[in-house]
Amino acid sequence: MLTALERKILNFIGEYLRENGGRSPTLSEIGEGCGVKSVGTIHRYIASIEDKGFLEKARSGWRTLLAPNELPFKGIIAAGKPIEAVEQNESIDLSALLVQPDCFLLKIEGDSMIDSGILDGDLVVIKPAQTASNGQIVVALVDSENASLKEFEKIDNGRRIKLIPHNKRMKAQIYDAGRVEIQGILSSVIRTY
């Protein structure tokens, strides 16, 4: 987690980048904007922020600092009975939430997972894996050519694999275990409107 001053420095850098067409502030500008006189102190704080993964240097040089992919978290909204609106002043790092090491994206085509809220056109974040536990939603490659996102279940002491759609109009498919290769496990779903 970031200290209060690290968060202040990071927020200053993000705002500066937006207001100045992507040009990063100098250490002096950061110090002035955050009320810190020592450039050396700012340098140490930036190094700490980088070490924590919230900031990185771009290839074009040390002046181009990249702010994290964060959005302000304003609170909870009811999707049923209305609740009291209480504003929260937090932020959520989307890159940490959505992107784990080695993950990849796939775009959903079809409606076999609609009962789990995975719709045609959604993007899914997949964590690479070669094995899965019963009940996990996986990317399964059948006969080395047909890939599908389905719930995974081993049956008959692991000799067969059941791939279960989450659409009550569709039936599960059962394959000999040797025909099914697990490519990854569902990590998250991304939908835009």
Catalytic, 52? Answer no
CB distance 161 to 111 below 8 Å: no
Q: Which of 165, 153, 159 is nearest to 178 (CA)?
A: 159
Q: How far apart, in whole angstroms, are the C-alpha atoms of residue 141 and residue 183?
A: 7
Question: Which one of 24, 48, 57, 112 is the catalytic residue?
Answer: 112
Q: How far apart, in whole angstroms, are the C-alpha atoms of residue 80 and residue 143?
A: 44
Tell me the H-state helices in the chain.
4-19, 27-34, 39-51, 94-98
Q: Which two tokens stand for residue 14?
A: 């993000």
Catalytic, 60? Answer no
CB distance 25 to 36 below 8 Å: no
Residue ranges of E strands in the chain: 56-58, 61-66, 70-73, 90-93, 104-107, 123-128, 137-142, 146-155, 160-164, 173-176, 180-190
Question: Which one of 57, 60, 144, 150 is the catalytic residue?
Answer: 150
* Catalytic annotation, residues: 112, 150
